Chains A and B, each alone.
Chain A
Amino acid sequence: MSRLQEPAELEWTAFRYIAGELSPADVAEFEQRLALDQNAREAVASAVQMAEAVAGLQPAPLELAPTVGDQNPRRATGAALVAAATCALVLVGTLILDRVSSSGPHDSAALQANDGADQLLNLWAASHDGLDVWADADEGDAPITGSDEEFAVPSWMLAAAEIDATGQWDSAPDGEAAPVEQLQHN
Chain B
Amino acid sequence: MRTADDSRIDPDAVDAWYAQHAQDLRAFLIGVLKSDDLAAEALQAAFAKALESGHTAREESIRGWLFRVAYHEAMTLRRKQKVHDKSIRKAAWGRSRDSESPTERTELEETKTRVEQALALLPEEQRKVVWMRIYEEKTFSQIASELNAPLGTVLTRMRLALRKLHSRLDAKD
B47 adjacent to chain A (CB < 8 Å)? no
Please tell me which one of the listed residues A21, A50, A64 contacts residue B115 in the complex, with CB atoms under 8 A apart.
A50
Q: Is the CB of B92 within 8 A of A45?
A: no
Which residues in window 107-138 of B have CB below 8 A to A?
108, 111-112, 114-116, 119-120, 124, 127-128, 130-135
Q: Main secondary structure on chain A at its contact with chain B?
A: helix
Q: Is the CB of A34 within 8 A of B128?
A: no
Contacting residues, chain A, for B146 (C-beta < 8 A): 67-68
Contacting residues, chain B, for A61 (C-beta < 8 A): 116, 120
Nearest CB of B to A64, in Å: 6
Q: What's the interface size class on A, roughly?
A: 35 or more
Q: Is the CB of B31 within 8 A of A47?
A: yes
A21 vs B72: C-alpha distance in the bound complex, in angstroms?
22
Contacting residues, chain A, for B75 (C-beta < 8 A): 31, 35
Which residues in window 41-57 of A have CB below 8 A to B?
41-42, 44-57
B51 adjacent to chain A (CB < 8 Å)? no
Please tell me which one of the listed residues B127, B148, B166 contacts residue A62 in the complex, with CB atoms under 8 A apart.
B127
Tell me the nearest residue of chain B to A57, going by C-beta: B116
Please tell me which one of the listed residues B24, B89, B127, B148 contacts residue A45 in the complex, with CB atoms under 8 A apart.
B24
Please tell me which one of the listed residues A14, A20, A34, A46 contacts residue B71 in the complex, with CB atoms under 8 A apart.
A34
A46 vs B92: C-alpha distance in the bound complex, in angstroms?
12
Q: Is the CB of B111 within 8 A of A11?
A: no
Knowing A68-B147, A68-B148 are in contact, say whether A38-B64 is a contact too (CB < 8 A).
yes
Contacting residues, chain A, for B165 (C-beta < 8 A): 50, 54
Knowing A50-B169, A55-B89, A68-B146 are in contact, say whether A20-B34 is a contact too (CB < 8 A).
yes
B32 adjacent to chain A (CB < 8 Å)? yes
B163 adjacent to chain A (CB < 8 Å)? yes
Q: Is the CB of A50 within 8 A of B28?
A: no
The residues of B with any CB-CB pair to A shorter than 8 Å are 24-25, 27-28, 30-32, 34, 63-64, 67-68, 71-72, 75, 85, 88-89, 91-93, 108, 111-112, 114-116, 119-120, 124, 127-128, 130-135, 139-140, 146-148, 158-159, 162-163, 165-166, 169-170
27 contacts between A and B (CB under 8 A): A8-B159, A11-B162, A18-B30, A34-B71, A41-B68, A45-B25, A46-B27, A46-B169, A47-B162, A49-B27, A49-B111, A49-B169, A50-B166, A51-B92, A52-B27, A53-B114, A54-B131, A54-B134, A55-B93, A57-B112, A59-B135, A61-B116, A62-B127, A62-B131, A64-B128, A67-B132, A67-B147
The residues of A with any CB-CB pair to B shorter than 8 Å are 8, 11-12, 14-15, 17-21, 31, 34-35, 38, 41-42, 44-57, 59, 61-62, 64-65, 67-68
Q: What 17 new A-B contacts, CB under 8 Å, besides A15-B162, A18-B34, A31-B32?
A: A12-B159, A18-B31, A35-B68, A38-B68, A42-B24, A44-B27, A45-B28, A45-B31, A46-B169, A48-B28, A48-B91, A53-B115, A54-B131, A55-B93, A59-B131, A61-B120, A67-B132
